[in-house]
Amino acid sequence: MNEMRAFLLLVITLAVLNPAGPQTPTHTEMPVVTQASPLPNYKPKDGYVPNEITAVRIAEAVLLPIYTDKVIKAEMPLSATLIGGVWHVTGNLPLLTDGGVAEVYISKETGEILHLAHGR
């Protein structure tokens, strides 16, 4: 009987003291932000990608890790054209060169990458 009491006392003491310290929440316990989330969100009146310079910088940021500096830098400067709320960003092919160029379509309003490819 004394052994049972000692065991229970030990379990209760360990549970109260928690020697592992505070537990960090797992990814399943973290709050999930969705489109229906009540969190405040700043939305620029001209969209997240308001101009050609921003569109080109975003395109460079997504293209360089995929196609390497050498490939994309050879197509510089990238050019951007706004068509129906979507920035069409393309590389420039050097004169007398066979092949294709990078192309990225970016939503002016949201900044979402809608299309990314490289011609052959």
Domain boundaries, the chain: 52-118
Q: How far apart are CA 107 and CA 53, in angstroms?
A: 14
Instruction: Pick the more confident residue, 91 or 13.
Output: 91
Helix (H) or strand (E) holding 19: none
68-71, long-range: CB within 8 Å, 24+ apart, which pairs? 71/102, 71/118
Identify which has the larger pLDDT, 11 or 60.
60
Predicted TM-score (pTM) of the model is: 0.65
How far, in Å, CA of 75 to CA of 63, rounded? 11
pLDDT on residue 24 = 53
The residue that leads in pLDDT, 48 or 35, is 48
Average pLDDT estimate for 9-36: 59
pLDDT of residue 98: 76
Q: Which residue has the higher pLDDT, 53 or 32?
A: 53
Distance CA 62, CA 116 (A): 9
